[in-house]
Each structure stands twice: as C-alpha cells, then as structure tokens.
Amino acid sequence: MVSIPWLWSCCLDTQTLVYILLFGLLGLAIHKRLRKKPVFLDPRGRAVLITGCDSGFGNLLAHRLLDLGFTVFAACLFPDGEGAQALLTHSSPGQVKVIKLDVTSDKEIEQVKQYVQDHLPDKGLWGLVNNAGISLWGLVEWQTIDKFQKSIDVNLLGSIRTVLAFAPLIRKNKGRMVFLSSTNAYVSFMNSVYSLTKAGLEKFCDCLRLEMKRFGVQVSIMNFCCLSLTSSGKCKTTVHPKCE
Ligand SMILES: NC(=O)c1ccc[n+]([C@@H]2O[C@H](COP(=O)([O-])OP(=O)(O)OC[C@H]3O[C@@H](n4cnc5c(N)ncnc54)[C@H](OP(=O)(O)O)[C@@H]3O)[C@@H](O)[C@H]2O)c1
C-alpha cells in the first residue's frame, strides 16, 4: 500500500514540474515576442518624398536622410530659395531632387507625381513625409473664412492630396507615410484654425493606418510642440527647454 506522505510528495513534485514547465513555456513565448530582431533598412536605392523642405523640420529631415543614403525628393515652395539650394550643395549629384510643390495646387501635385515616377531609384518610393504646414493663432472671431480655408487647404487637404497621388507607389514598396501633427490637435486655446486642421489630420491618419496595414504600409503621426529650429537643427525655443 502506498503511504499517504509519499503520495503527497509525489503529487507536489508532479505539480511543481508542471508549473515549471508551464512557466518555462510562458517565458519562452514572452522572450520570443519581445526579442524582435532589429530591422536594418538599406537606404540605398530607396526614395523619400518630403513636403515643405524650404525650412524647419522638413529641411532638416531632408539633410538627415541624405546623410543616411536615401534619395530625397525635396518638395519646396521656393526651389530657388536658400533652404532648397543648401540641400543641393549638401548631397552627391542626383541624390536630392528639389522640386517645386505648393500642396494646395492639384496641378503641381500632378506634375510632381509624374516627375517622381520618371526619376525613381531602383527600389522605388519608400517614404512620404507630409510636413508642409502653416500655423495661425488667435480667437475665432479674429479670423476670416479665408484664413480657415487656407489653413485647411495646406495642413489637411495638402496631406490628403499627396496621399491620393503617392499611396500606390508607397504601397508597392511596403513603405512608410509620416504626418506632422501637433499637440494643438488636443489643446484648444486661441488656436481654433490650427487645432482643427491637425485634429482632422490625425483622424485621417487613423483611417489610413487601418486601411494600409494589410498592405504592409506603416502610417505614423509625429506629434510635438513649440520647436523653433535653427539651421543646424538645434532647438531655439525657450518654451520647452527639454527639447534641446
Ligand atoms: N515647430 C513646431 O513647434 C511644430 C509643432 C507641432 C507641429 N509642427 C508641424 O511640423 C511641420 C513643420 O513645422 P516647422 O516648425 O518646421 O515649420 P516651418 O519651418 O514653417 O516649415 C513648414 C514648411 O512648409 C512650407 N509650406 C507652407 N505652405 C506650403 C504650401 N502651401 N505648400 C508647400 N509647402 C508649404 C513652408 O514653406 P515657407 O518656409 O516657404 O513658408 C515651410 O518650408 C508643420 O506641419 C507644423 O505644423 C511644428
């Protein structure tokens, strides 16, 4: 006859073993999930189109991507301006294509689309950065309907225009789309015009993100506030000293 203490210790052992096994499997599963291999993307032969490259973040990003080795389509309001010209001198011949683009113009969007299609590097258009934007402050009653229309046209419809034009190319390469939003999308104080354009942009991005997921395209929103950038990329602001 099996003694009770032996049975008890045997059960405990079996139980312990089962627990150890289960915890081990759980640990393995978690480890596998967390240990995502870093993806190293080779920028050579991949192109990124950035709007609003004349100055600020767009211009700095263009410089950075050129340094990394991407081909950059730098869309500028003023291709002969200082910011655009600095990009040309910064890069190796042909690496940057400075193109005229006012994002409120359907005609120019069509021309740029044609130009991009004709000048793509071998791995195609991989990134679209919707950076062009204008900001406007003040009480609602200080504004005119023209000011609302202009801001919506640049900040919201401008990004939608580029998506409609370039989404097929980005989809083809399982690329990325990035949108420059603002904390003003959530903060409502003397900024109705700007705030509504960025809030609308974020809603648009959310819809686009869900639609693009099945094509392997990532849609991202960059959200920051109160930066004033120098040409060397340093933050000049006194509002957010931490962003230095
Ligand atoms: N700086 C911030 O604190 C901050 C915070 C949150 C979000 N953002 C957003 O980040 C983006 C970049 O901001 P930033 O600070 O770098 O400002 P920025 O220096 O004024 O850059 C905006 C760029 O868009 C261009 N642009 C204006 N209207 C255009 C149009 N119709 N078509 C094409 N390009 C046009 C501007 O050209 P011109 O220079 O020739 O006018 C400029 O190059 C914007 O979308 C902005 O709303 C900025």
The series of mean pLDDT values per 10 residues for the chain, 244 residues long, is 55 78 89 76 96 96 96 98 94 94 98 98 98 95 97 98 98 97 92 96 98 97 75 46 36
Contacts (Cβ under 8 Å, ≥6 apart) of 179: 130, 159, 201, 202, 205, 219, 220, 221, 222
Model pLDDT, residue 240: 38
Q: Is any ligand 1 atom within 6 A of the Cβ of residue 79?
A: no
194 is catalytic: yes
Nearest CA to ligand 1 atom 45: 133
Model pLDDT, residue 179: 98
Distance CA 60, CA 230 (A): 9
Model pLDDT, residue 16: 83
Q: DSSP letter for 37, please.
A: P
Is the entire prediction scored with pTM above 0.75?
yes
Distance CA 24, CA 201 (A): 45
Nearest CA to ligand 1 atom 10: 180
φ, ψ for residue 198 (rounded to 5)? -75, -35
Distance CA 95, CA 36 (A): 32
Nearest CA to ligand 1 atom 33: 102
User: Both tokens of residue 24?
Assistant: 């081990």
User: Both tokens of residue 46?
Assistant: 């991949």
SS3 100: strand
Q: How many CA atoms lie within 13 A of 232 on its CB side?
A: 3
Q: Is any ligand 1 atom within 6 A of the Cβ of residue 108?
A: no
Q: Where are the domains of the chain?
A: 1-36, 47-243
Q: Which of 49, 51, 53, 55 to mutate to test the pocket of ligand 1 (most atoms within 8 A of CB)?
A: 55
95 Cα: distance to centroid of ligand 1 (angstroms): 23
Q: Which fold has domain 47-243?
A: Rossmann fold (3.40.50)
| Residue 224 CB coordination number (10 Å) | 13
Q: Is any ligand 1 atom within 6 A of the Cβ of residue 137?
A: no
Q: Is any ligand 1 atom within 6 A of the Cβ of residue 55?
A: yes
The atom number, within ligand 1, closest to the CA of 57 reads 16
Q: Is any ligand 1 atom within 6 A of the Cβ of residue 175?
A: no
Model pLDDT, residue 244: 32
Q: Is any ligand 1 atom within 6 A of the Cβ of residue 133?
A: yes
